[in-house]
Amino acid sequence: MAKAAKTEHAKKEAAPAAKAGAEKDVDFFEKIMSLAKRRGFFYPAAEIHTPIAGFWSFGPLGTAMKHRIENLWRDAFIKEEGYYEVEGSNILPASVFVASGHLAGFTDPLVQCKRCHAMHRADKLIEKAAGVFVPERTPAAEVDKIVADNKIKCPDCEGTLDKTRMFNMMFEVNIGATEPRETAYLRPETCQINFIDFANVYRAMRPKLPFGIAQIGRSFRNEISPRQGLLRQREFTQAEMEVFFNPAEKAFARFAELKDYKLNVQRVGADKVEHITAAELVKKGIVKYELIAYYLAKIQRFVNGLGIPLEKIRLREQDPKERPFYAESAFDCEVQTAFGWVEVAANHYRTDYDLGAHAKATGKDLTAMLDSGEKIIPHVWEISEGIDRTMFCVLMQAYTDDKARGWEWLRLEPKAAPYAAAVFPLVSKDGLEEKAREVHAALAKCFDVLFDKPGSIGKRYARADEVGIPFCVTIDYDTLEDGTVTIRDRNTVKQRRVKIDELQASLWNLVFCGAEFEKIGKPVK
């Protein structure tokens, strides 16, 4: 058992508990949550009834932004790699989770207050109250000792806490109309489908190692203390990919593409981030395989591409006693926020644990054949991205309370924004609205674009800025004369005139190719 310690990681996780910082963070959190609800990003599920904590609904803008992030992930990790996407059931037989180890090992420490009977997740309560980091597989008796040593009380009523018990976080489902009904479970992660369907995909697609199976879908965890908006939910979207490879092959064909890319790595026991290339990561033996270094570089680059600055991203190596039960090594991709460091993507070397366990439980052949004719159970490198919490971190990073401009707005990366552009008629008369709808319809064939006409043009700019729309296209009287429109840049509020027949290409270059705004069209006179 690892000794619990006030590590740098734990201190940063617990930092928001400081009074001054906590007040500032609460204010910031409320601003984000207010904007999210007011403008239709997300809000509590079943809000007109009595909502259950940990369940959220996504409005039109949140749904659009989520899909944007999902598609960017799909492009980066499935399409660019030439891998395979599947879609599996949310409900799976109990035998799947017996074989995977989740029924025995997918637990969190739970404590209950003896006075008010409130339930708390013990490890998070300890981190917040005492700055003590509790590794994932800490025995209940050791958790109780840490609580006693630090004199931790119930945060709700200052009551004494009862003994810790390990709580399995899976939702049980009873299937069938007659007794006894079959016991099944809502999946706590999407990846088990990627393992149990391995033989079907391998037979159908005939791939050579290494290859990946990926899935973007819903997962369900009966969290003890859901909190902080989308950061800890009971139902959430995961994007997970299992890369199956031959453990005898240390080299990886695509490694050269990212070998010189610098990663922000925090090793176990280190108190600061080390900037190290993917090639050095392998050379120093921090990871075993070029494939692992390549995908660690790729996940950092992906998160950075969503608008999170590199200095706010780290790949934190997990302590052996902190890692999930199936992982030989693990790196959490974390983002620095007002609430400390938040994990957005878990990265695990799962060896042959899952395929081996399912093969043993079912007696099925889950091997892959090498060019030599030898059959092996492949090893697995896993990338597991939390789409909802990634989106929440992007929103927090993008939030701008602009006193000079006079309104709050989101500095979202154009490719991650809910809409690529908004189209406005200057006024709703003299044929301008009809022309604006014509421009909108043409752009809508390639982009998600918003049409907005009520209110002054200034108010419409403010509404678009507030939800992070990067460009606004205004149809005015000059449009009817010379076939040009005004396009406005959200970040700089500068404007340029662009020909309608060049607008689609210009917008594509701005949103997806990083074109400089000053190099399109002509400046507004």
H or E element that contains 446: none
Measured CA to CA, the distance from residue 219 to residue 189 in angstroms comes to 5
What is the DSSP code (8-state) at residue 310?
G
**Amino acid identity at 199:** A
Per-residue model confidence as pLDDT tens digits over 468-488: 999 999 999 999 999 999 999
Q: Pull the structure tokens for residue 219.
A: 């997962």
- How many other CB atoms sit within 10 Å of the CB of residue 53? 13
Instruction: Assign 170 to helix, strand or coil.
Output: coil
In sequence order, which residues have a C-beta less than 8 Å from that of residue 187 and are 6 or more positions away?
Answer: 88, 89, 90, 91, 92, 193, 219, 220
pLDDT value of residue 20? 46
Answer positive or negative: Cα dihedral of 2, 219, 336, 261. Answer: positive
Measured CA to CA, the distance from residue 293 to residue 277 in angstroms comes to 9
* Statement: residue 8 has pLDDT above 80: no
Measured CA to CA, the distance from residue 186 to residue 90 in angstroms comes to 6
**Quick one: average pLDDT of 391-411?**
94
Taking Cα atoms as reference points, which of 470, 459, 515, 463 lies closest to residue 494? Answer: 470
* DSSP codes of every residue in 356-382: HHHHHHH-----EE-TTS-EE--EEEE
pLDDT value of residue 134? 87
Taking Cα atoms as reference points, which of 119, 118, 113 lies closest to residue 153? Answer: 113
**Quick one: average pLDDT of 140-160?**
93
Per-residue model confidence as pLDDT tens digits over 377-389: 999 999 999 999 9
Instruction: Assign 486 to helix, strand or coil.
Output: strand
Taking Cα atoms as reference points, which of 385, 421, 399 lies closest to residue 508? Answer: 421
Cα angle for residues 444, 448, 449 (degrees, 5° grid): 70
Ranges in the chain annotated CATH 3.30.930.10 = 39-106+169-395
SS3 content of the chain, % helix, strand, coil (to 5): 35, 25, 35
- Cis bond before residue 51 (omega within 30° of 0): no
* Statement: residue 3 has pLDDT above 70: no
**Quick one: average pLDDT of 431-453?**
96
Taking Cα atoms as reference points, which of 62, 58, 388 lies closest to residue 237? Answer: 388
What's the mean pLDDT when you consider all of the chain?
A: 92
**Quick one: average pLDDT of 456-462?**
95
Q: Comparing 17-26, 148-157, 182-191, which segment has the lowest mean pLDDT?
A: 17-26
Q: Pull the structure tokens for residue 181.
A: 């009904």
- How many other CB atoms sit within 10 Å of the CB of residue 67? 16
Per-residue model confidence as pLDDT tens digits over 85-119: 999 999 999 999 999 999 887 888 999 999 999 99
* Statement: residue 2 has pLDDT above 50: no
Whether the CB-CB separation of 338 and 396 falls below 8 Å is answered with yes
Instruction: Assign 159 to helix, strand or coil.
Output: coil
Whether the CB-CB separation of 402 and 409 falls below 8 Å is answered with yes
Measured CA to CA, the distance from residue 234 to residue 163 in angstroms comes to 24
* Statement: residue 503 has pLDDT above 80: yes
Measured CA to CA, the distance from residue 195 to residue 356 in angstroms comes to 10
CATH of domain 39-106+169-395: 3.30.930.10
Measured CA to CA, the distance from residue 448 to residue 61 in angstroms comes to 11
**Quick one: average pLDDT of 238-255?**
98
In sequence order, which residues have a C-beta less than 8 Å from that of residue 57 and are 6 or more positions away?
Answer: 42, 43, 44, 45, 46, 47
Under the banding of pLDDT at 50, 70 and 90, the label for residue 5 is very low
Q: For the chain, count helices (H), then strands (E).
A: 17, 27
Residue whose structure tokens are 């005898």:
248
pLDDT value of residue 22? 52
What pTM was computed for the model? 0.90
Ranges in the chain annotated CATH 3.40.50.800 = 419-523
Answer positive or negative: Cα dihedral of 319, 323, 328, 331. Answer: negative
Instruction: Assign 307 to helix, strand or coil.
Output: coil
- How many other CB atoms sit within 10 Å of the CB of residue 348? 23
- Cis bond before residue 207 (omega within 30° of 0): no
Per-residue model confidence as pLDDT tens digits over 265-310: 999 999 999 999 999 999 999 999 999 999 999 999 999 999 999 9
Under the banding of pLDDT at 50, 70 and 90, the label for residue 449 is very high
Taking Cα atoms as reference points, which of 75, 330, 85 lies closest to residue 211? Answer: 85
Q: Comparing 23-32, 228-237, 352-361, 422-431, which segment has the lowest mean pLDDT?
A: 23-32
- How distant, in Å, are the alpha carbons of 9, 154, 325 from that of 139? 20, 20, 14
In sequence order, which residues have a C-beta less than 8 Å from that of residue 412 and are 6 or more positions away?
Answer: 65, 307, 394, 398, 468, 470
Per-residue model confidence as pLDDT tens digits over 118-144: 999 899 899 889 988 888 778 899 999
Q: Pull the structure tokens for residue 173.
A: 């489902």
CATH of domain 419-523: 3.40.50.800
What is the DSSP code (8-state) at residue 113?
B
Per-residue model confidence as pLDDT tens digits over 38-65: 999 999 999 999 999 999 999 999 999 9
Half-sphere exposure of 89 (CA within 13 A, CB side): 9
Of the chain, the end-to-end C-alpha distance in Å amounts to 70
pLDDT value of residue 23? 56
- Residue 342: phi and psi, rounded to 5, are -115, 125
- Round the CA-based radius of gyration of the chain to a whole number and report it: 25
* Statement: residue 11 has pLDDT above 50: no
- Residue 483: phi and psi, rounded to 5, are 70, 25
